[in-house]
Amino acid sequence: MPETLLFYLLAGLAISASALVIGQRNPMYSVLLLIASFGALAGLYIQLDAPFVAVAQIIIYAGAIMVLFLFVVMLLNAPQEDAAPWDRTHQLRQPGVLRFGTLLAALLIVQLVWALGRAFGVDAPVASRAGGNVSSVRELGRVLFTDHMFAFEATSVLILVAMLGAVVLARREDEQ
Amino acid sequence: VIPLSHYLIVSAILFAIGSAGVFLRRNLITILLSVEIMLNAVNLSFVAFGRAAGDVNGQIITFFVMTVAAAEAAVGLALVIALFRHKESLNPDAFMTLKW
């Protein structure tokens, strides 16, 4: 079945690209791999009958946010991780603390596996059209601008505040 | 037809990868990227649940998550630039003092 094959292909691509993102030492490669992961996720959204979300994912995430990350990575020209000698001798780099972080990550994975063991019972077919057409952009816009009007306006204020905050934070202090 | 649980499992694996990145990496930019991975994992499960329920609200909340992620990236990267100017380092362990 080509649909199932495509799902496993896209899911495998998204997971392996995301795993490589946190495995890279160079943040430049991490950002580029994350763009690949977001592209695969956009394919999954199209399979879920959400074409508008898929397009927004490409335009906003891969197009805007990741380019912002790329700008910062290139602007800082940061040294490689653990390059400075004090990095390796720091008190937070001692084995006990490292083991605690690994313990927390392992704990989360155990919890997720336990939760997923129960998720296997949820076998509702995703393709069922219980009510309404979820792929309709018209319906999406109607709900967004009527039922979620306040959240929409609050989001525009949030973006304005974030813009002002970014300008203030990134300004050089010796200019004032 | 792909069952809902498959999408949930992909979402959970992505979330685990993102949280492992936050726990294990020592680079502020990689930590911010891991946060983006976690946000996307949650977006995927929202859209999958919305599709299973035949409801557009799953997609609506995805747009709000995307906007908040954009705001978070803008402010977070501005903070990273400001921190890098002071210490010439992206290691979060370098920023342990409350005042300099």
* B71-82: pLDDT as tens digits: 999 999 999 988
When pLDDT is averaged across residues A99-124 and rounded to a whole number, the result is 74
* B35-68: pLDDT as tens digits: 999 999 999 999 999 888 888 888 999 999 999 9
Residues of A in contact with B85 (CB under 8 A): 172
Grouping H, G, I as helix, E, B as strand and the rest as coil, residue A127 is coil
The pLDDT of residue A175 is 55
When pLDDT is averaged across residues A28-54 and rounded to a whole number, the result is 92
A162 close to B (CB below 8 A): yes
A28 close to B (CB below 8 A): no
**ipTM of predicted assembly, 2 dp:** 0.90
A129 close to B (CB below 8 A): yes
The DSSP symbol for A58 reads: I
* A46-97: pLDDT as tens digits: 998 888 999 999 999 888 999 999 999 888 876 565 555 555 555 556 666 6
Q: How far is B98 from chain A, CA to nearest CA, in Å?
A: 16
Q: How far is B39 from chain A, CA to nearest CA, in Å?
A: 11
Share the mean pLDDT of chain A.
82
Residue A56: which of B64, B32, B33 has the closest Cα?
B64
Residues found in chain A: 176
Residues of A in contact with B20 (CB under 8 A): 22, 105, 108-109
B86 close to A (CB below 8 A): no
Strands (E), A14-83: none
The pLDDT of residue A128 is 47
Backbone angles phi, psi at B51, to 5 degrees: -65, -40
Residue B65: which of A71, A37, A56, A47 has the closest Cα?
A56
At residue A37, does pLDDT exceed 80?
A: yes
